[in-house]
Amino acid sequence: MSDLPMMPWWPKDYISATRHWTLAEKGAYFDLLCFQWELGVLPENPKDLCKLLSINQQELDEIWTRISPKFVKVRKGLVNKRLEQHRSKAHTLHNNRRSAGRSGGLAKAKKAASKAPSKRPSKRLAKSKHPSPSPSKRLKEGKTPNVNLNENVNLNEVEGLNLDAWGKWLSYRASRRLAKYTTNKIANQLAKLPKDRQMECVDASIDQVYM
């Protein structure tokens, strides 16, 4: 899953590529591109694709012959190669900006600390030989930080959500110190997938260090 708010779009290329498509084919193709931007990969199973697009198998069969060449199979599912390239670049730029901002913040904090009067560490802190592991380390060891599954999101309004997968995703975000969600948007997108696929999607997003 992704927190990138904007997806690059080239209207001229899209119009040229879909000029002779039906409205249903164009709409489904556009929706799948949006889902890929948010989820990272699309499910390969036709039933899962039907659920994402809110259509039945017959409707998928009528449009899939035209749409399917736009996507290729990867380890976790299906992707549009061009969109994935832009998505990867966007994540790299996003992470670089985060790192630059964090470095600048650390430099300011270090400078401020150097001007502040020194304080002796407390005896309790000095005697501590086993500091608590960082959130990211606890996540790697399978020990997830305590997180509020709702965190300003009303999960009672989200049907079909795998709470184990959602909790793992929130734990990952907590370990990365990312901002909390304030809407049901991401939870609803995840809930569109079958519960077993929801955990696979979360694992794939964590493996690829998505934000």
**What is the pLDDT, as a whole number, of residue 9?**
83
Do 96 and 170 lie in one domain? The reply is no
Q: Which of 113, 146, 178 lies at the terminal end of a domain, its last residue? A: 113
Q: Is residue 106 part of a domain?
A: yes
Do 25 and 99 lie in one domain? The reply is yes
What is the rounded CA–CA span in Å between residue 94 and residue 87?
A: 10
Do 163 and 211 lie in one domain? The reply is yes
Do 28 and 106 lie in one domain? The reply is yes
Q: Is residue 38 part of a domain?
A: yes
Q: How many domains does the chain have?
A: 2
Q: Which of 52, 80, 113 lies at the terminal end of a domain, its last residue? A: 113
Q: Is residue 2 part of a domain?
A: no
Q: How would residue 94 be classed by pLDDT, with cut points 50, 70 and 90?
A: low
Do 89 and 181 lie in one domain? The reply is no
Do 29 and 79 lie in one domain? The reply is yes
Q: List pLDDT tens digits, range 101-137.
A: 666 666 677 777 677 665 565 555 555 555 555 544 5
Residue 1 near residue 205 (C-beta atoms within 8 A): yes
Q: Is residue 3 part of a domain?
A: no
Buried b (16+ CB within 10 A) or exposed e, 101-117: eeeeeeeeeeeeeeeee
Q: What are the CA-CA distances from residue 167 to residues 42, 129, 144, 146 (Å)?
A: 21, 31, 9, 9
Q: Is residue 126 part of a domain?
A: no
User: Which of 11-25, 122-136, 140-154, 188-202 shows the lowest mean pLDDT across its residues?
Assistant: 122-136
Q: Name the residue range of residue 65's domain.
A: 9-113
Q: How would residue 181 be classed by pLDDT, with cut points 50, 70 and 90?
A: confident
Q: Give residue 77's region: left, alpha or beta (phi > 0; psi -120 to 50).
A: left
Q: Which of 113, 142, 164 lies at the terminal end of a domain, its last residue? A: 113
Q: Is residue 176 part of a domain?
A: yes
pTM: 0.48
Q: Is residue 46 part of a domain?
A: yes
Q: Is residue 127 part of a domain?
A: no
More confident residue, 180 or 14: 14
What is the average per-residue pLDDT within 190-208? Answer: 83
Do 98 and 143 lie in one domain? The reply is no
